[in-house]
Structure 1
C-alpha cells in the first residue's frame, strides 16, 4: 500500500498511523499513544496494559506517550483508537486520511 492509503489519528500529543487490513486494523511501527488520556471511560485500558507488558508499546522520549515498537494488528479501528487515545473511541470517525481529510467511515462508503 502506498503512503496515501494510511490514515492518521492525533489525540492530544499522540500521533498514530494505521490502515484497514482484511483481518483488522494495522497500526504502524513508530506511532505514538497517550499514556494517560483525558477521557474517564477507558474501555481499552486492559488491552493497552497488555501491549505494554508484551513490549509492543514502549516508553517514548516524551513522558506523556508510548511508542509502538512494531506494527500491530488490532481487531478494529475502534480498538486501535481506544488504545492510542487511552479512552473510548469511534475508529471510523477518528481516523482520517491526510490526502483528502476523509474519515475512515467516509472513505469506505
Structure 2
C-alpha cells in the first residue's frame, strides 16, 4: 500500500482510503487536506472508498495515514510491515544507536 522513503511516505496507486472523516477532524486542516487530495484528483471515489489514482508522496508517514484513515493518526505506529511490525519498529528503532 505504501513505502517509507528518504523524501517521505509514498502511498501507491490503487491503494484505498476511507471516505468519511471522523467527527474530531471536521473543520480542521486535516479535513481540508483530504478534501484537497480529492479536488486535485489524487483520491477518486470508487464504490465505498476512495482510491489513489497515482503514487503520491506525503511529507510524513502521519500525513499519509491521515489521508488514508480520515482521522488524526501517528503514521509511525499505523503503518505496518507485512509481518505486523510498525514503521517505527522497522525504521526508526532499527537505526537508533544502542546505549
TM-score (norm 1): 0.77
Give yes or no for contact 1:24–1:74 (8 Å, CA) kept in 2: yes
Displacement of 1:54 in angstroms is 0.8
Correspondent of 1:87 among 51, 71, 75? 71
Query: 1:51-108: CA deviations, max 9, x gaps?
Result: 101111001122xx1100000000000000011111100000000101x210000001
Q: Distance in 2 between matches of 1:93 and 1:32?
A: 18
Give yes or no for contact 2:11–2:56 (8 Å, CA) kept in 1: yes
Any gaps of 5 or more consecutive residues in structure 2? 94-99
Q: Distance in 2 between matches of 1:29 and 1:53?
A: 17
* Residue matched to 1:38: 22
Q: Distance in 2 between matches of 1:32 and 1:39?
A: 20
- Name segments (4+ residues, structure 1) moved above 6 Å: none
Displacement of 1:39 in angstroms is 5.1
* Residue matched to 2:96: none
Greater Cα radius of gyration, structure 1 or 2: 2
Q: Distance in 1 between matches of 2:23 and 2:35?
A: 16
TM-score (norm 2): 0.84
Give yes or no for contact 1:58–1:69 (8 Å, CA) kept in 2: yes
Q: CA RMSD of the aligned region, Å? A: 1.3
* Residue matched to 1:70: 54
Give the count of matched residue pairs: 90
* Residue matched to 2:46: 60
Q: Distance in 2 between matches of 1:33 and 1:97?
A: 18
